[in-house]
Amino acid sequence: MRVKYKVWLVDEEVILGDGGYRLLSLIDKNGSIRQATAEMDISYRQAWGRIRKMEKRYKKPLVETHTGGQSGGGASLTPEAKELVKRYRLFRAEVDKAINDSFQKYFSDL
């Protein structure tokens, strides 16, 4: 027996969950939405929609983009997004440990 869980931030609607966190992290790393989606194995369309939703709820722009140029364009995270991603990573790590510890405590014999 194991434990599974999902955790996400909301404000009326979803702001950020594990999927959004990973997407933002990969955009930061790759400098491109397209390349991030390739690494996550989701469609560009899907990623684009999620980013719009996140920004709509967070109320601040999270991803800055530009089109054209020899590289075709690119994307990067705003300072606010970088801060959010950083906090989420730390938060998520704590939650992960807490849940697994409690699970061991109560269900290790099952």
Partner DNA sequence: AGGGGTTATGTTAAAAAATACATAACGAGA
Partner DNA sequence: TCTCGTTATGTATTTTTTAACATAACCCCT
Map tokens 């075709």 to a residue: 72
**Is 75 a binder of DNA (CB under 7 A)?**
yes
Dist CA 58 CA 42 (whole Å): 22
Q: Select from a copy of itself, DNA, none the partner in contact with residue 11, using the beta carbon and a kind-dependent cut-off of 5 to 8 Å.
A: a copy of itself
* Separation between Cα atoms, residue 89 and residue 30, nearest integer Å: 18
Among residues 63, 67, 54, the alpha carbon closest in space to that of 20 is found at 54
Applying CB under 7 A, among 2, 6, 45, 105 the residue interacting with DNA is: 45
Q: Is 2 or 105 the residue whose CB approaches DNA more closely?
A: 2
Which of DNA, a copy of itself, none does 98 bind, CB closer than 5 to 8 A by kind? a copy of itself
